Structure 1
Amino acid sequence: MKSRVNSKVSKQRNVDSSWLEDPKTLGMVKTQVENVDLVKARREQFVRSAIEVFCTNGYHSSTVKEIAQQAGVSPGLIYQYVSDKEDILFLALQLIVYTLKQGLPEAYNSTSNPVEKYCACFETYCRVIDANRHASMLTYRETKSLIPEHRGLIMGMELETNEIIAMAIRECIRDGFFIKVDVELFVYHTIMTAHAWSLKHWRLSRVTTIDKYIETNLRFLLASVLTDEGRVVFDKRPS
């Protein structure tokens, strides 16, 4: 499937360091360095390395020294930009939720048709997961390891992204394209399907492509909720 939203989604797949600049989280990790651009550049460098280390060794077994070695810097340098290993985990887990927080509104606003809105949001979600599989796995394994304040903020950001998908679903119900469903449950059914691409990538990548995965699962997800009118709209989507 070559979607019409791919060109828009590609901006979100090639994630730059903007995820380190979310106003909600910017001041929650202390640094000894005053140069904002330098802080952003250094944190991006070692946080991305930390994701690899955490996914390989597990968060609790990993050390700042190992992260430093992976990033090609000294442990002392890392401690100029964070206070401890938990700060690094917090910054790492922001990657997925912030990227979704930025990408889903663009997908939602890419069309006026509710069915197409839902499809665009699901595609964007899947492509963000595909581009950041290690970070996605980390959110499942280690969110519980955050301090309550950090964990609550990550969960809150997730709920913000969920609401965008929920809006599309409610519009589909309102306009007669979906039957009446439990919106929150259908949202989680949607996002868990997207996350399955990373959780079972070891197998799924051998039997399908991300494009086929998106299209096939859209049909699975919508088979039980589309009305006759909704099915007509779905089948006439731009390809």
Structure 2
Amino acid sequence: MKKKAVPSMVKDQQLVKKRREQMVKGAVRLFIEKGFHRTTTREIAKESGFSIGTLYEYIGSKEDVLYLVCDAIYEEVRGQLDQQIDTKAVGINRLKSAIATYFRVIDHLQDEVLVMYQEAKSLPEEALMYVLEKEVEMTEMFETIIREYVEEYEIDVSDDKIKLMSHNILVQGHMWTFRRWAIRKLYTLEEYTKLQSEHLLAPILSVSKK
């Protein structure tokens, strides 16, 4: 699915990129504090460092800002994963490395991730479908890593289980953010990652590893 076209009166794409990055940072701070619906575009403009008139040169509506926030968060998560996953790791260690990397990225972007999941429902249908498609892509990334391991070691695991494992990895990463008020009283990130990895990979951990 193609990105939603966000209207801009400015033709300089480098400037558009810069200003929208400022908007995203400003909007995230406000959405965390007040929520999407209670935040005004005037407040977003002020928090971003420019006037309301300038804001509307780069977007068409407040919903456009929310879409840019959601898109930027997914791009940041995916970019950091691509950079940090240990491609030299093999066997079960590659899977554990991917999970640990994902959890670290979510920890680093916890406020942004929380805002995205709380407020994405306010997006127009076209933009929401795009954001949900990005979620599917994230799930498929883990699905690919699991499937490669399963095929390499000839493990008898159904396709349904592989898909469910992939979804569960994403959900447990999110839980570190959504239930941080309780989880972080019990575990460090490293402890949480170790326990969740054992749980998430249980369907294949009993098989001979390399």
Match of 1:187 among 159, 163, 166: 166
Match of 2:191 among 177, 191, 212: 212
Match of 2:46 among 64, 69, 74: 69
For residues 140-173 of structure 1, give each alpha carbon's deviation from its aligned partner in whole angstroms, at most 9, with x where no partner exists: 2122211121111111122122111001111222
Q: Is 2:140 aligned against 1:163?
A: yes
SS at match of 2:88: coil
- Are the counterparts in 2 of residues 114 and 168 from structure 1 also a CA contact under 8 Å? no
Structure-1 separation of matches of 2:89 and 2:198:
20
- The residue that corresponds to 1:38 in the other structure is 15
TM-align CA RMSD: 2.4
Unaligned runs of 5+ in 2: none
Percent identity between the aligned chains?
29
- Are the counterparts in 2 of residues 179 and 226 from structure 1 also a CA contact under 8 Å? no
Compared with structure 1, are the counterparts of its residues 178 and 67 closer, same or farther at alpha carbon in structure 2 (3 Å cutoff)?
Answer: farther
Structure-1 separation of matches of 2:187 and 2:156:
30
5 Å-filtered alignment, 1:75-154, equals: 75-106=52-83, 110-111=87-88, 113-154=90-131
SS at match of 1:152: helix
- The residue that corresponds to 1:56 in the other structure is 33
Compared with structure 1, are the counterparts of its residues 129 and 177 closer, same or farther at alpha carbon in structure 2 (3 Å cutoff)?
Answer: farther
- Are the counterparts in 2 of residues 54 and 62 from structure 1 also a CA contact under 8 Å? yes
Structure-1 separation of matches of 2:91 and 2:10:
46
- Are the counterparts in 1 of residues 86 and 98 from structure 2 also a CA contact under 8 Å? no
| TM-score normalised to structure 1 length | 0.77
Unaligned runs of 5+ in 1: 1-23, 234-239
Structure-2 separation of matches of 1:162 and 1:111:
21
Structure-1 separation of matches of 2:95 and 2:156:
14
- Are the counterparts in 2 of residues 108 and 118 from structure 1 also a CA contact under 8 Å? no
**How many positions carry a matched residue from both structures?**
208
Give 1:47 deviation, angstroms. Answer: 1.2
- The residue that corresponds to 1:4 in the other structure is none
- The residue that corresponds to 1:226 in the other structure is 205
Structure-2 separation of matches of 1:65 and 1:178:
56
| TM-score normalised to structure 2 length | 0.87
**AA aligned opposite 2:98:** C
- The residue that corresponds to 2:179 in the other structure is 200
Larger mean CA deviation between 181-190 and 107-116 belongs to 107-116
